Structure 1
Amino acid sequence: MKWLKRLAVSSLIMAGVTATSTHAKELGWPEKEELTFGFIKLTDMAPIAIAYEKGYFEDEGLYVTIEAQANWKVLLDGVIDGRLDGAHMLAGQPIAASIGYGTKANIITPFSMDLNGNGITVSNEIWKQMKPNIPKMADGRPQHPIKADALKPVVEKYKSEGKPFNMGMVFPVSTHNYELRYWLAAGGINPGFYAPHKGDTSGQIDADALLSVTPPPQMPATMEAGTIYGYCVGEPWNQQAVFKNIGVPVVTDYEIWKDNPEKVFGITEAFAEKYPNTTIRLTRALIRAAQWLDENNNANRPEAVKILSQSNYVGADYEVIANSMTGTFEYEKGDKRPVPDFNVFFRYNATYPYYSDAIWYLTQMRRWGQISEDKSDEWYFETAKKVYRPDIYEAAAKSLVADKLATAQDFPNFATEDGFRSPQTHFIDGIVYSGLKPNEYINKFSIGLKQGETL
């Protein structure tokens, strides 16, 4: 019955969307015009801010209010209870909600907001201890990417002295949690396990490094206070540590997993069913904003930084946001290097909601015990398809092409696209990921639960 209902919704959304698509005026008026969207103060909320500031929402007949949220839980609860119509979300949030981890709710995403954009920062004291373990380039600067192998002796020293090695991430189902865990484990440091079936959701079982939640804007101050020794967070809160001279970003997520999916735009399944025209139209506006952010080799980024620096958006200094948003990234103070793809909003099909992206998050939930028991490959596929909605995206994209606001070449080939990226090879540990083989992928890791294992 669920799949019949889903098919009916997809048919409604795709009505009139043929191979040549339909113009915006033929999509139908938005059923709900006044909307409230939530976000967290991070630079990757940019597509929402740009869609608002450039009038793309209004072009769709949508009158949007944008509200910063205190933390990711408050944001998710706001979407579930209807206080928010949609939000900038951690990619793991709608996926976790769909399987009932933490909160049970039917959240979907028709739009992936960006690729990359995160970093791992350590305090000056930890950096001082790590640095002798890092190979140097000819000019004396550290050789990148810096692997967690360089941190392992430091963590072992703390453990031998009976000191917990505390690190921060932004939410239990955040990309940041999984990226930090991935990086640590690739360097032989166990980041710990979850055991929800035993009532343990600390994620610290058998851990060498103890990871806990800290809201993004509070990361630098929490590290400066000595509560944590390092953290994984989105921008501008890694660069803020450099500007405040309290820490050193040691690796970006681009170096952990090149062109990894980051945030999504989340709405309830009920919203999409009740307001199909509104859903397509808000997706159109967000696609246009993402295009604007990346067009002409990021020529619009300085203007975007100026917008994001406003207190009603990210509210950090222009220089701090620009450090990563305009194609560079500063590691140790004065060590600024080109990273043109640190923030990607449209190129490389960044906005398309790939099933394989959702499946990667599910494999990490299983790897670290948030999913307690084995699941079949088919379960991973079915779960991804409940949450990620390329059918909605396709309807929006085709209508933009029909309106000459985009070209077919801007998007995947919808006639052949199956929702699975080609096997991805650019991980810091060299392990290849294929979304078509989730269990095979899980079994490749030396640290982490494998098929047949539970805590």
Structure 2
Amino acid sequence: MTDLPGQGAALNVHGAGSDRPEKEVLRIGFMPLADCAPLVMASILGFDEKYGIKLALDRQQSWSGMRDRLTNGELDAAHALYGLLYGLQMGIGSAAREMAVLMNLNQNGQSIVLSRAIAAAGVQDGAGLAALMREQPRRYTFGHTFPTGNHAMWLCYWLAAAGIDPLAQTRLVTVPPSQMAVNLEAGHMDGFCAGEPWSRRAVMEASGALVASSGQVWPDHPGKALGARADFVARHPNACRALVAALLDTARWLDASTTNREAAAEVLASPAYVHADVELLRACLVPRRSDFPGLRFFGEGEATFPWLSDGMWFLTQQRRWGLLREDPDYLGVAARVNRVELYRDAAQLAGVDLPSAAMRSSTLMDGRVWDGSDPLAYAASFDIHQRDPQPLSA
């Protein structure tokens, strides 16, 4: 793809002296989703080589497989669910492992889809689903992609905001992202939450109706994170800094123009990456619907910063749904996992502005304000919650 903007412009600015990357070829796992774009385009455009590293991208088939390869050392870093990394840190469903969030890779970009049959019954939102469940009581089944991950948390939050107890009133199942639309069409599920392009595929193929974007649940929420094992970061700080700087350059490029987004869609359509129709990927990367916030990769550095409050929010929801038996040291865990100082060094290298604080304030769909100031009270404040341990998948 030699005609892409930026191709061949690399100038090695980080390849010698005491800050030389300890490892030049980095094995990076990614899932076939639209928000893997920063990793793919960093490699295609040579932003990695600019900082003295080379990304060896490794396409994964499931989040559980990604988790296992990341923790056993087959992967150096990964395009990972934010909640998956925090679940590993806390030992939810597996042995606890010290993890690191190096940066946020995107904001927004996931959706909640209901089946064609439910949409045909007139359901357009959570309130309509709650009414249908009262009128036609049964055990409704909804899919997410990983028990501690983003999609499970958005789905549970959306259901609970409508007065539906996701653990008591529904059956939650774990399904790989690319299999969501197929399972919905086959009638195995009543709905799901997944990342793009797989929710839009269900809509385009008329197997379901898109009723909420994750950006409507939490505007400009954290999406995927760049995750690594803490021991890898400790041994390779310069390589990790170079990796973050390269991805900051790429995120800035992706947000710079519609032309760049369209070029990325053409690349991602390849079987080596997302393996989806290019028009479907264009719809994800260059959205036409203003009511469904699109993927945000850079946002002048706001979308990439590893906000401590973002990590803390996932802990509050994991506590809310019984995945954590007791309240953790919310701020202490986030400060240990999210590598703000490493990010600041990389941002300086890439010429990216930094926010004035490591916390931010957001208003979620139910009007609740989350700013990280009182996580204990926030986690305990919900009317619908499950404090006793109970799995989020069947």
Q: TM-score, normalised by structure 1?
A: 0.79
Matched, 1:165 2:156: no
Q: Which residue of 2 is the match for residue 412 of structure 1?
A: 354
Q: Which residue of 1 is the match for residue 105 of structure 2?
A: 113
Contact 2:215 / 2:292 at 8 angstroms: preserved in 1? no
2:34 is aligned with what amino acid?
Answer: T
Match of 1:439 among 376, 379, 386: 376
Which deviations, in whole Å up to 9, do the C-alpha atoms of 1:160-194 show, x marking residues without a partner? xxx321010000011110000000000000001xx
Q: Which residue of 1 is the match for residue 4 of structure 2?
A: none
Residues 322-401 of structure 1 correspond to what in structure 2 (within 5 A)? 322-328=282-288, 337-339=289-291, 341-347=293-299, 349-375=302-328, 379-401=329-351
Q: Which residue of 2 is the match for residue 73 of structure 1?
A: 64
- 1:380 and 1:445 map into 2 onto residues whose CA distance is 17
Does the C-alpha gap of structure 1 residues 76 and 454 become closer, same or farther in structure 2, counting only changes over 3 Å? closer
1:91 is aligned with what amino acid?
Answer: Y
Does the C-alpha gap of structure 1 residues 124 and 397 become closer, same or farther in structure 2, counting only changes over 3 Å? same
- 1:344 and 1:165 map into 2 onto residues whose CA distance is 32
- 2:242 and 2:272 map into 1 onto residues whose CA distance is 24
How many Å apart are 1:327 and its aligned residue? 2.5
Residues 18-417 of structure 1 correspond to what in structure 2 (within 5 A)? 24=14, 28-103=19-94, 104-131=96-123, 146=125, 148-159=126-137, 163-192=138-167, 207-296=168-257, 298-328=258-288, 337-339=289-291, 341-347=293-299, 349-375=302-328, 379-401=329-351, 410-413=352-355, 416-417=356-357
- 2:281 and 2:143 map into 1 onto residues whose CA distance is 21
1:362 is aligned with what amino acid?
Answer: L
1:150 is aligned with what amino acid?
Answer: G
Contact 2:344 / 2:354 at 8 angstroms: preserved in 1? no
Taking only aligned residues, the RMSD between alpha carbons, in angstroms, comes to 1.7
1:302 is aligned with what amino acid?
Answer: E
After the TM superposition, which segments of 4 or more aligned residues of structure 1 sit over 4 Å from their partners?
none
- 2:359 and 2:121 map into 1 onto residues whose CA distance is 41
Does the C-alpha gap of structure 1 residues 233 and 27 become closer, same or farther in structure 2, counting only changes over 3 Å? farther
- 1:91 and 1:36 map into 2 onto residues whose CA distance is 19
- 1:36 and 1:412 map into 2 onto residues whose CA distance is 28
How many Å apart are 1:454 and its aligned residue? 7.5
1:77 is aligned with what amino acid?
Answer: D
Does the C-alpha gap of structure 1 residues 454 and 370 become closer, same or farther in structure 2, counting only changes over 3 Å? closer
2:362 is aligned with what amino acid?
Answer: Q
Aligned length: 375
How many Å apart are 1:439 and its aligned residue? 1.4
Q: TM-score, normalised by structure 2?
A: 0.91
- 1:183 and 1:100 map into 2 onto residues whose CA distance is 25
How many Å apart are 1:130 and its aligned residue? 3.3
Which deviations, in whole Å up to 9, do the C-alpha atoms of 1:343-385 show, x marking residues without a partner? 000006110001100000000001100011244xxx1011111
- 2:39 and 2:54 map into 1 onto residues whose CA distance is 13
Contact 2:70 / 2:77 at 8 angstroms: preserved in 1? yes
Residue aligned with 2:122, SS: helix
Does the C-alpha gap of structure 1 residues 446 and 277 become closer, same or farther in structure 2, counting only changes over 3 Å? same
Identity of aligned residues (%): 33
Contact 2:216 / 2:292 at 8 angstroms: preserved in 1? no
Contact 2:21 / 2:236 at 8 angstroms: preserved in 1? yes
Greater Cα shift, 175-184 or 436-445: 436-445
1:400 is aligned with what amino acid?
Answer: A
Structure 2: gaps (5+ residues): 1-12
Contact 1:326 / 1:340 at 8 angstroms: preserved in 2? no
- 1:306 and 1:449 map into 2 onto residues whose CA distance is 44
How many Å apart are 1:449 and its aligned residue? 4.4
Structure 1: gaps (5+ residues): 1-22, 135-145, 193-206, 329-336, 402-409
- 1:442 and 1:449 map into 2 onto residues whose CA distance is 11
Contact 1:158 / 1:165 at 8 angstroms: preserved in 2? no
- 1:439 and 1:265 map into 2 onto residues whose CA distance is 27
1:353 is aligned with what amino acid?
Answer: P
Residue aligned with 1:338, SS: coil
- 1:91 and 1:304 map into 2 onto residues whose CA distance is 23
2:127 is aligned with what amino acid?
Answer: D
1:346 is aligned with what amino acid?
Answer: F
- 1:400 and 1:258 map into 2 onto residues whose CA distance is 26
Residue aligned with 1:344, SS: coil
Q: Which residue of 1 is the match for residue 362 of structure 2?
A: 424
- 1:189 and 1:86 map into 2 onto residues whose CA distance is 37
How many Å apart are 1:156 and its aligned residue? 2.5
- 2:234 and 2:383 map into 1 onto residues whose CA distance is 43
Contact 2:321 / 2:389 at 8 angstroms: preserved in 1? no
- 1:120 and 1:99 map into 2 onto residues whose CA distance is 27
How many Å apart are 1:97 and its aligned residue? 1.0
- 2:303 and 2:389 map into 1 onto residues whose CA distance is 34
